[in-house]
Amino acid sequence: MNTEIYYFSGTGNSLAAARDIAEKTKGTLISIPSVMDRLHINIKADSIGIVFPCYMAQLYGIPLMVEGFVKKLENIDTKYIFAVCTCGGRESFNALPTLKNLGRLIKSKGGKLSAEFSINLPMNNLNYYFFQDQNHETMFKKCRKKIEVIYQCIAGKKRNNYRILKSLFYFLITPMNFLLQNFYIIHLKEKSKEPGDTKLTYHELIPLTDKSISADDKCNGCSVCAKVCPAGNIKMTGNKPVWQHHCEMCMACVEWCPVKAIRHWNIEEGKSYHHPDIKISDMYRHH
């Protein structure tokens, strides 16, 4: 099978999953940020995989750059397309609506999302930590098993099962998500330091949320944060990081800072997480 596996990742969860799938399928692993300078993206392989994290499932779920990537895809009508959404919360409530949105986006480009999967992995976003009821080792163990299932499905270019059941569940959780949307928008306005009555949308607020990120006195000017940022959103000025307001909210800068100098509203001070099998050098491959 000739497969290109595209990934977007902040803490390495999606990268680790994408890399394992690429190894099994002998596919080509490609970072989404590395192709975003192209006007259009023409896929040469027969199959395309998109592996990405879920962000704010109740609002939209798809990271802005992943959305931008899909919008650039050309000639995908004959391709077998699969997606893997990694999430920190329950897969049914978080990955399901996100993948639904991705399916619609792919359809708008003339393609079809043939198979969709989700993997529950440790969450970097510690304010939502109470949603996770399993320890990391259990999650990694389940993830390895899930990747084998994913491989068996995509190797046979199969479609997902349980479509009707998923649609029914999606229909049931939609009103709840709708109610939560306002809460998340207020949160985003606050973090992007916009007034409460701003007309800015979700897509316009997210890039500005870096206004609530800062480096403290521990910063030694090593520039790791600038190098891991998938959006090239950090410039080093006078040996200090300066955020440029086109943030993806991925939290890579926070999580990979070697001295934990970056303050972020969602991360408890002194805590950090990144996938244990991913090294900083793997993250640099974003570029």
Ligand X SMILES: Cc1cc2nc3c(=O)[nH]c(=O)nc-3n(C[C@H](O)[C@H](O)[C@H](O)COP(=O)(O)O)c2cc1C
Q: How far is the CB of 76 from ligand SF4 (least distance, A)?
A: 26
Which residue's CB is nearer to ligand SF4, number 153 or number 200? 200
Contact range with ligand X by CB under 6 A, out of 36-44, 53-61, 172-180, 188-196: 53-61
Per-residue string for binding with ligand X, 191-230, x by CB under 6 A? Answer: ----------------------------------------
Residue 248 contacts ligand SF4 per CB under 6 A? yes
Largest alpha-carbon pair distance within the chain?
Answer: 56
Amino acid found at 42: N
Which residue's CB is nearer to ligand SF4, number 173 or number 222? 222
* Closest among 229, 248, 230 to 30, alpha carbons compared: 230
Binding residue for ligand SF4, selected from 68, 110, 156, 221, defined by CB under 6 A: 221
Which one of ligand SF4, ligand X, none is in contact with 14 (Cβ closer than 5 to 8 A by kind)? ligand X
Residue-by-residue DSSP string for 88-108: SS-HHHHHHHHHHHHHHHHHH
* Closest among 101, 69, 73, 74 to 85, alpha carbons compared: 101
Residue 111 contacts ligand X per CB under 6 A? no
Residue 229 contacts ligand SF4 per CB under 6 A? yes
Which residue's CB is nearer to ligand SF4, number 76 or number 215? 215
* Straight-line distance from the first to the last Cα atom of the chain, in angstroms, rounded to the nearest whole number: 27
C-alpha 209/C-alpha 220 separation (Å) is 23
Contact range with ligand SF4 by CB under 6 A, out of 29-37, 40-48, 182-190, 246-254: 246-254
How many residues interact with ligand X (rule CB under 6 A)? 23
Q: What is the dihedral of CA 268, 87, 165, 82, to 10 degrees?
A: 160
Q: In what order do the strands lie in the sheet with 3-7?
A: 28-31, 3-7, 47-53, 80-87, 113-120
Which residue's CB is nearer to ligand X, number 27 or number 88? 88
Residue 242 contacts ligand SF4 per CB under 6 A? no
Q: 3-state class of 242 per DSSP?
A: strand
Residue 185 contacts ligand X per CB under 6 A? no
Binding residue for ligand X, selected from 36, 75, 89, 242, defined by CB under 6 A: 89
| Helix pair 136-155, 13-25: axis angle to 10 deg | 40
66's tokens: 């992943």
C-alpha 90/C-alpha 234 separation (Å) is 32
Residue 81 contacts ligand SF4 per CB under 6 A? no
Residue 53 contacts ligand SF4 per CB under 6 A? no
Interaction site with ligand X (CB under 6 A) = 9-14, 53-57, 86-89, 94, 121, 123-125, 249-251
